A and B are shown apart, each in its own frame.
Chain A
Amino acid sequence: MAAVQRGDRAAYGALLDDIGPAVQQFVRRRIRDPEEAKDVYQDILMALHRARRSYEPDRPFEPWFFAIARRVVARRRSERLTRDARELRPSVMPDVPIESDGHLKLALEQALRHLSADQRQAFELLKIEGLSVERAAPRAGTTVGALKVRAHRAYRILRRFL
């Protein structure tokens, strides 16, 4: 980790490869949903990256790193609880099927086929998962500006086909 603080990319790659399996195990034990576990895994490694200056080279790495990992998992759980509390869940399903809903869903699926993978991902992160641009950009592995451009293009294409 001390080499990582000096900017040694090879050492960084080796460190991340070394801790990867332990982190995956750590996350799997706490997050059941595989997709969410994948996101949390990335969030933990990104938090390590951002906090690297706070590591003290003369102290053990594990307590420092797993304190960060525990916090990332706790935040994710807290966010999920908040989101779940906000979502509306009907206690009784409607008797009459809503035909227009099915029609719209089909049309949306067809329109989504015209998007590139990046545009589709931007649309899903911002409009289906409801993330802010700032939170969605790291998830998509791009910058805020680039994500906005992708989303804008996706909306333009969807407008054309809906």
Chain B
Amino acid sequence: VTLEDATHRAIVARLTTELTPARALWSPWARLACWLALALAVVGVAAVSGLRHDLGVVIDRPGYVFELAILLAGAGLAATLALLAAVPGRMGGRRARALGAGLLVLALAAALLGETGVAPATRTAFADLRCVACVGLFGLVPWLALYRAVGRAAPLDGTATALCVGAAAFLVGAAAVRVACPYDDVAHLAVWHGLPVALWTVVSTVLAGAGLARWMDDGVSDRHTAGG
């Protein structure tokens, strides 16, 4: 009996003893569909409860709809990256590059093709800061849902996955604020809607990045429970 055989037998005995049923997760695509439904619901809530009273009119403008579509498509792409990255072996380099390039194209399109309304003279700093907070608040529920969905799987790179989770959630926040906020000028959109996406994404990545990969350090029997 070699040392390696003895090691193997010891670890196999231990793991088989501690084995409990662990129901397989839904596929990343099914979880993505659920998350997108939640994201659309958040945008719907923002539309109903927001300060924009001309939504019925602006929704007919192609530029406005295009902007919303870009924000939601970016959120969907980032969520796809996060959910695939949480399943070992699912995210090859080619697929990651393609999805990353898609995100970049959407960001450029949003920056170059967005609407360019005029800033109202009566707007206060409070209104600007309210948009920063609202991007975070509207993004919070999608963030919690996606973080939970990703955390139940096995993300191998916690920081990169957390970055995708944050980007997806706070792009939904930005889309929600876009339908709730009455201002359309490009400076306001870029600084008070666009930058908060980056800000909240970085903050959430710093706070949650290490936690996503902690499953590799946990004890053997404390991660899965019967049927869980």
Contact = CB atoms under 8 A, between A and B. Distances in A.
B10 interface: yes
B12 to A, nearest CB: 5
B23 A47 contact: no
B89 to A, nearest CB: 4
A143 B86 CA distance: 27
- Interface residues of chain B: helix, strand, loop or mixed (majority): loop
A56 B87 contact: yes
Interface in B180-228: 215-220, 223-224, 226, 228
B4 A38 contact: yes
A47 B224 CA distance: 12
A104 interface: no
Given A4-B19, A57-B24, A143 B7 contact: no
Contacts of B25: 53-54, 56
A115 interface: no
Interface stretch (B52-60, B136-144, B150-158): B150-158
A126 to B, nearest CB: 16
Contacts of B24: 2, 5, 53, 55-57
B15 interface: yes
B8 A68 contact: no
B152 A41 contact: no
Contacts of B112: none
Interface string A52-83: 11111101000111111001100100000000
Interface stretch (A95-103, A134-142, A150-158): A134-142
Interface in A10-38: 12-13, 16-17, 20, 24, 34, 38
A42 B8 CA distance: 8
B88 interface: yes
B14 interface: yes
A39 to B, nearest CB: 9
B95 to A, nearest CB: 12
Interface in B1-30: 3-4, 7-8, 10-12, 14-25, 27
Interface residues of A, number: 45
A108 interface: no
A20 B12 CA distance: 10
B21 A7 contact: yes
A56 B16 contact: no
A143 B218 CA distance: 11
Contacts of A56: 24-25, 27, 87
Given A16-B12, A53-B25, A68-B156, A135 B20 contact: no
Question: Ordered nearest first, which 10 A-B pairs have the shortest CB separation?
Answer: A63-B89, A51-B154, A7-B21, A67-B88, A67-B89, A54-B154, A54-B153, A64-B89, A53-B22, A71-B156
B216 A75 contact: yes
A117 B126 CA distance: 67
Nearest to B28: A56
A5 B22 contact: yes
A106 interface: no
Nearest to A144: B219
Contact of A50 (B11, B27, B156, B218): B218
